Each structure stands twice: as C-alpha cells, then as structure tokens.
Amino acid sequence: MRRTLAALAVGTLLLTGCSGGPSAEPGVLSVGVREPASLLPGRVADLPGRQITGALWTPLTELGAADQPPVPLAAESVTSPDRLVWTVVLRQGWRFHDGSPVTARSYVGAWEASMREGWPGARVLTEQLRVAGLRAVDERTIEVRLGRPLGEFPKALTSPALLPLPESVLASRDWDRFAERPIGNGPYRLTVPWVRDKGARVEPFAGFAGAVRPKARGVDFRVINDPADQFAQVSAGTLDLATEVPSVRHAAMQQQYADRHWNWPAPEATYLAFPLADKRFADPSVRHAISLAIDRSALATGPLGHQVTAAASFVPPALTGEAAPGSCRPCAHDAQAAGVLLRQGGTGLSTLTLYYEQEEAGQRGWVSRIAEQLRSGLALSEVLVRGLPGDEYRKALAGKSFDGPYVLRADAGYPSPQALLEPLLSGTGSDVDSMLGEAAAAPPAASPRYYRLAENTVLRDLPMTPLWSAHGHLYWSKALSGVVTDPLRGVLLDRIEVRARP
C-alpha cells in the first residue's frame, strides 16, 4: 500500500495519559540524544545534529500534505519561469536569536561559505542542486541559477544544509565557536552554550516570526550516548523522549510503548557496489548472483540490531513515500537462484574481497556476515573483508580502483529520489542519465514516472545492489502529545506538548 512522503512526514500521534515521574520542570521536554558531530548547519552530518538544529532553525519550506507542493515557512514565495533560474522571496520581519535581521545575504553568504569551506552540506548545492550562481538581489530576494532545470527546487529548500547564518559569523568565520552556541531563526534558542557530552537547554524564542509557536516551555537536550541508558531513563520516568533504542530491547520497546513509539524512514541508504571495470563482474548475471546470495533481513535483525530497514527497492522509502515498495527482485534472498546465475556468468569466480571504510563504526561485523553468506551461498573458496582508512577509501572511490565489491553509502540532502539518484548514478549509463535528466526538468507531478524508469533500469543492470536504508526510533512518556517526524529533521520538537505531571 502506497504511503505518501507527506504522510510519513507529518502524521501525528495523539496520546492520552500522564507521566510516570518528574523528568523535568513543568512543561519542559527532556530529550535523549547522542553527541552531535556539529551544530553548524553546513557541517551537520548526523541525525542528532539535524534534530537539534531543527529546533533552532526554521527552513525556507517544509513538506506539504500528500501530493501537495512544499509549504513556504521562512520563504514567502519560490518561483521560476523556466525551472532553471529560481527566485526566493523571504517573509518580512524574521530575526535571528541575537536580534539581527534575516536577509537574503544570510542565505547566500551561508551557502557560499559551505561551498568555499567544503562542508558536508555543500553536496546539496554542488552535486544535488548543481548551483551555478547565487545572488542576493535585495534584502528579501535570493536568485539561484542552476546548471540544469530542476522542478523540485522548492522541495530542496527543506534541507538543513540550506539554513541561514547571521552576519556576525559570516564576517568572523569563527565557525567552531559558533557551533558551540549556534544562533538560528527558529522557534527555540539556546540559553547557554552547548556542553560536549552533557547537552544544553533551549527555550522559546520570543522574537520568532513563524506561524506555529512552540508548545513546550523549553527543551532539555541530554547527551546520552548509550541507547540502553535512554531506554532505562524513559522507563524510569526521568526522560520524556528517547531517540535511540538498544538492539536487545527492540521487542520490549514495541511491547512496552505500543502506542508511544515511532519508526520513521530516513533518506539514507547503503549499497554494495561492483567494480565494473573488473571482467569478473562484467556480466550482470554475476552481480545478480551476489545480490541474491545476501540475506538482508538476517543482517538487519542480526549484526545491525534492528537499526536499519532491509532494502526492498533501490530508492529508500523516505524518498518515495512507500512503506514497502517491493520493486527490487535482486534484493530477495534466494541462494539457489544465486548459484544458477553465478554459473551462467561463466567467469569462474572463486574468491572475493569486500571493502569497507574503517572509520565507520560497526561495519566490519556486518560486512563479515555478508562474506559468510556469499561464501556459503555461492560456494566460493574464499571471501575476504578489508577495511581501508577513510582517506584511502575515498581516494579509491574517486578513482574506482577497488578490485572487489565495496560498501557505498548515500544520503539525499532533500526528500526526493533525484537528490539520491543523480549523484549516485550519473555516468552509469546513457539511458539512466537521460531518465534522470527528464525527471529533473519535469514538473514535480510528472517526475515519479522517470524515477521509476531509472530505478527499473538500474535494477536490471545492477551496477550496485541496495542493502538497506536507515530509520530513526522514537519512544516517549505518557506526558507527551503531538509527536510528529520529518524525514530530514527527525522529531519536530516545536509541535510536542508536555502535559502536567503529578
């Protein structure tokens, strides 16, 4: 059954009841998070960072209802005569938490800084949007010229990578200090600097110009890196909302918080890519054999501890709005068919080396499990796993110099298949490039057809096979109501109400 992206993004769960214990001051929401890598928008690269910056900033647009265009938030309008040059007009009266005005320069300067400094968020601008020019026309007007037409540009403005920065930090360029006490334009503001491994308190921003006012009197972000500690504290009534669940407590969470947990899809996916220049992998039959020999469900519930969703499509559900797309035949575990296809390939494949990035926590465990599955499912004599340092791994990715299948992670900077597929698949085939070009240039209502054609073509040729997509976990106390999520920002903290505790 098809579920729209908007339904996943804004579906509200209304709850009744009262808290099992005094976890915070009256009306103040306590949230457990891992330590974020950064709170500077352009550097944010993890879910904790997106959730915290999502409380401190308001994006230009947010996802609308099912099959509806994005809703302008900080933007008043987003228009284009040709889908190539876009004009963004800002709403009047918006200010940062320090009282300075939010202007077109706040956005253009932040985006230029991201590209100049090489922050992770720059990929949204350079690879996904293909920005060819930026201009602050006046105090409230931004002009963006793209390298090719893109009908989904208004949806891209939901991205946390495209948030504004105040003139003070654009002038000083003291990014590290700013990340300790970020100044946003959103519903909540920091009352004290962020303390590493401890967290910080935020309170409603009196000067917030948005239409939706925060419902809580404040949010107490508590850094709790151990998921088991988050689970224990919510169970004891000393924490309102947890964002991590330990793998061994996954079933207990579903039972204990039957109507108070939410598993929401994230726009990130992991693939096993093939070195197509290696003649051993030139035949698609060999690539399909390897894909069919992998038991994704066993990996998701085993070494990955229920923290991912086994792939059933090439594009993760967060980008399609489908809860269970099921379009990926090579994703179905079938060891018997895998053996037949390997023999059809006729390459005499008997040994393999799988590559992964050493710095990625926990990768060796599940890559080793894939190696075991391939060894037994394909009757190979040897399957090795080799981790490379980050710099070496990225160099091998850029040079396509692997001599065996390698792990490839991809994330969409905004909630659209285009944001994931175009950077990932560009150059893999003229047909795919053409379909993605048609999807980009088409009106948003027409683009899904081209995405499906591109996905079907990729699943036929299989230059890489999808393994799983990411998802987030939430579970909470009976004191909370109005818990909603967004594919990029995670839980929308300004929508949550904290009822009175006994």
288-346 pLDDT tens trace: 999 999 999 999 999 998 989 999 999 998 888 655 556 799 999 999 999 999 988 77
The CATH topology of domain 5-260+477-498 is: D-Maltodextrin-Binding Protein; domain 2 (3.40.190)
Residue of 421, 408, 420, 412 whose CA lies nearest to 360: 408
Average pLDDT of the segment spanning 214-232: 95
> Residue 189 — pLDDT band, cuts 50, 70, 90?
very high
Q: What are the C-alpha distances in Å from 172 to residues 113, 165, 176, 178, 262?
A: 12, 12, 11, 10, 41
| Range name among 155-164, 245-254, 490-499 with the lowest pLDDT average | 245-254
% the chain with pLDDT above 90: 72
Q: What is the DSSP string of 219-245?
A: EEEEE---HHHHHHHHHHTS-SEES--
The angle subtended at Cα 358 by Cα 355 and Cα 362, nearest 5°, is: 95
Domain coordinates in residue numbering, the chain: 5-260+477-498, 267-471
> What is the widest separation between alpha-carbon atoms in the chain?
71
| Range name among 49-63, 383-397, 438-452 with the lowest pLDDT average | 438-452
Report the CATH architecture of 267-471: Roll (3.10)
Establish whether domains 5-260+477-498 and 267-471 are of one fold: no
Average pLDDT of the segment spanning 3-10: 38
Contact call for residues 304 and 311 (beta carbons, < 8 A): no
User: Tell me, what amino acid is at 483?
Assistant: V
Average pLDDT of the segment spanning 435-461: 90
pLDDT tens profile 457-498: 999 999 999 999 999 889 999 999 999 998 888 899 999 999
> Residue 2 — pLDDT band, cuts 50, 70, 90?
very low
Contact call for residues 28 and 467 (beta carbons, < 8 A): no
Q: How far apart are CA 68 and CA 61, in angstroms?
A: 13
Q: Is the pLDDT of residue 122 over 50?
A: yes
Q: What pLDDT is stored for residue 486 in this prediction?
A: 87
Q: How far apart are CA 440 and CA 453, in angstroms?
A: 13
Q: Is the pLDDT of residue 23 over 60?
A: no
Q: How far apart are CA 222 and CA 207, in angstroms?
A: 25
Q: Which string of b and e fits 333-348 if b means at least 16 CB within 10 Å?
A: bbbebbbebbbebebe
> Residue 502 — pLDDT band, cuts 50, 70, 90?
low
Q: Is the pLDDT of residue 355 over 50?
A: yes
pLDDT tens profile 91-109: 999 999 999 999 999 999 9
> Residue 5 — pLDDT band, cuts 50, 70, 90?
very low
- First-to-final CA distance of the chain: 42
Q: Is the pLDDT of residue 421 over 70?
A: yes
Q: What pLDDT is stored for residue 444 in this prediction?
A: 87
Residue of 352, 247, 366, 345 whose CA lies nearest to 305: 247
Q: What pLDDT is stored for residue 494 in this prediction?
A: 94
